[in-house]
Structures are given as structure tokens and as C-alpha cells.
Amino acid sequence: MAKAKYAIGVDFGGTKVLGAVVDLARGKVVGEYKVASSAYDSGEALMDRIYEVVDGALAAADVKITDCAGIGVGIAGQVDAERGLLIGTANLSRSVVDLPMGENIQKRYGVPAAIRNDVQIAAKGESKFGAGKKCDDFICVFIGTGIGGAIVRKGEILPGFSGNAGEIGHTTVDANGRICGCGGRGHLEAYASRTAMTKVILGELRRGRKSIVTDLIPGLDPTDNAAAIKSGVMKKAVKAGDAVVMETVVDAGKYIGMGLATVVNFVNPQRIVLGGGVIDSVDLLFETAEAWTRKEALPYAGQMVEIVKAELGDYSGVVGAAVIASEVA
Ligand SMILES: [Zn+2]
């Protein structure tokens, strides 16, 4: 069989599921389909979401499944890549474990399937077509609702013994610090994710400080624990010189720098690729993180490391998932 021109990538996140048909030679999305995500009480419901975006992306691209090398899925959660199993994810009730995603996809579409962690697919996308191109040793860090990371060594993603390598969001930046979502203490994610920054800003508003954020988000209730402050709002607030948001961003950037400096000393990568909506939108966060990384790392390693922004934006995950699917095919 001739080598397929396309593969399908699915990026299964906590708030949205994006499916895309990707042209493998150029790393370009030729058709995409997106749906909102939520919590799922069964494996079938979760699989249905995947089928929906795969079918939608194929229709949008006007491509047949027989022209695709395979389907790759990246999901925020623990994955057994070897067996194509989703072991567990925050989006799924705890009663559903060991969901055979790979097998289900293969049965339905008759093409090979690959299941990975969401950060690993994004790192693969950046490695092949984005900011990690032509660089064999780099780390990827994505900042969003949480903080995820991946280590690329000699062009391959390092899975680690139990598949957890690269979890920089759960490195300790303050031994007596805030409790993290994972239950640990003082982890980077509890200080510098967009969720963590949102909590700090809402806390300042509750204490009576004034911020442009309340103008930018009409009806914002600072006591609402589910309120989210999106990257675009933070960008506008920083541009307007808003003190509350700028302090929060500078503080978060410092913690990111502490975490990255640890990684620079320990792994000594050639390059650090920083991604995620808030890095993309808020230059102050990127610049502060870069400055603290160089300041805190060992002098030579800190001076030599290249620190760049991810290049594929929202597409790094789907492109990477498609590439991985084509490699297992
Ligand atoms: Zn943690």
C-alpha cells in the first residue's frame, strides 16, 4: 500500500475536543472539527466524543478514512501507550478505568490507533513541525489550566519508567507551599497555571482591590470558584498596566523560572519550548519566566539554553497525534 498522505489527530482536553485531518508531509491541518468537552460518566460517552470529532474532521477535509495512515489521540490523563489504554483521567468518573481506546478506534475505523498523553502529542507536533524542529534535545512546557511538560531526547519523547516523565507542573517550588490539585504541596502548577493565576486575581478582588478585569468580564463574581480568567483578558489587563494582573503574572513567571532552572540544571536541554494560551498571549509572563530561568540556573547552562515560544498554537496536539499515528501505522 502506498504511504498515506494524511493521518487524524485528536486532542482531548478538559474543556474541548479537537479533531483534525493532517497532511503528513507539511504538518498542516486540512480539516478540523471541535466540540465542547465535560465530565463523562461512561467510557462509551467519551468514545462517542472521539468518533464525533473524527467523523467531523474527515467531512470538513473531504478526505476518506482509507486515505489516512491512522488515528492518534492525546488525552489529559494517564495512558498505557503500549496497550492503547486510558488508565484514568480527571474527565472521567473513577469507576471507568482501563478504557481500551486504541482497540475501540481500530474496530470502528479499521486503521491503526495510537493513544498518548496530551502533552506528549503536543511535544511531538512541535518537534516535527514547530519550535522543536531540527533540535534533538529539548523540553516542552505547556501552561494552561494545569502545567504539563515533556522531555525530547535524541528526537524521541522520553516516557519514563511509568510514563510520567516531564511532569514539571508537579515539581516543588515551595516546600511549605500551596496544596496542588494532585494533593502534593508547593507544586509549580499551584502557582503558575492559568487556574492558579485566576485564583490569585479573584482573591485580590475579594480583598477589595480594583482591577480592569471586572470591566473586561462583566458580571464576574470573585467569590465564584469556577470563574475563569482567560488568556485574552490577562493580555488586555497587562497592556492597560493593571497592577493586580501584572503583579500576578510577574509572580507566576518567577515560579515558572524556578521550575525551569531546576530542569535546566538537571537535564541540560539545548532548548525550552514554552506553549499554551497564556504564554502565547502574555509576553510579560514569557519574559519574566525566561529572565528567572537564566538567573537561577547554573551560569553556563542558563546562558546557553535557548528559550522560545511554541509555534503551532492550538494545533500542536492534533498535528503531533497525527504524526504519532502515522509512525505506529
Ligand atoms: Zn501537584
Cα 176 to middle of ligand 1, angstroms: 13
User: pLDDT-derived band of residue 310, with 50, 70 and 90 as boundaries?
Assistant: very high
Residues whose beta carbons lie less than 5 angstroms from ion ligand 1: 170, 180, 182, 184, 187
Residue by residue, DSSP assigns 212-232 as THHHHSTT--TT-TT----HH
Using CA atoms, how far apart are residues 273 and 296, in angstroms rounded to an integer? 18
Cα 113 to middle of ligand 1, angstroms: 30
Cα 146 to middle of ligand 1, angstroms: 9
Q: Which domains does the chain have, with CATH numbers?
A: 6-126+315-328 (3.30.420.40), 133-310 (3.30.420.40)
**pTM value > 0.85:** yes
Question: Which residues have C-beta within 8 Å of that of residue 38, sequence separation ≥ 6?
Answer: 91
Across 284-307, average pLDDT? 97
Cα 189 to middle of ligand 1, angstroms: 6
Cα 4 to middle of ligand 1, angstroms: 40
Positive or negative, the Cα torsion across 111, 165, 184, 256?
negative
Cα 51 to middle of ligand 1, angstroms: 32
Across 103-109, average pLDDT? 97
Positive or negative, the Cα torsion across 29, 157, 119, 40?
positive
pLDDT in tens, 251-261: 999 999 999 99
Across 18-34, average pLDDT? 97
Nearest to residue 214, comparing CAs of 190, 244, 191?
Answer: 244
Across 299-303, average pLDDT? 95
Cα 179 to middle of ligand 1, angstroms: 8
What integer best gives the mean pLDDT of the chain? 93
Q: Which residues of 141-176 are buried (b: 16+ CB within 10 A; e: fewer)?
A: bbbbbbbbbbbbeeeebebeeebebbbbbbbbbeee
Higher pLDDT, residue 91 or 302:
302
96, pLDDT greater than 70: no
Highest averaged pLDDT of the listed ranges 33-47, 91-105, 115-129: 115-129
1, pLDDT greater than 60: no
> How high is the pLDDT of residue 306?
98
81, pLDDT greater than 90: no
> How high is the pLDDT of residue 50?
96
The burial class, CB within 10 Å (0-12 / 13-18 / 19+), for 219 is: exposed
**Could you tell me what percent of the chain has a pLDDT over 70?**
98
Across 52-68, average pLDDT? 97
Using CA atoms, how far apart are residues 221 and 124, in angstroms rounded to an integer? 39
Cα 163 to middle of ligand 1, angstroms: 16
Using CA atoms, how far apart are residues 13 and 118, in angstroms rounded to an integer? 8
pLDDT in tens, 199-252: 999 999 999 999 999 999 999 999 998 899 999 999 999 999 999 999 999 999
Higher pLDDT, residue 264 or 93:
264
Higher pLDDT, residue 225 or 175:
175
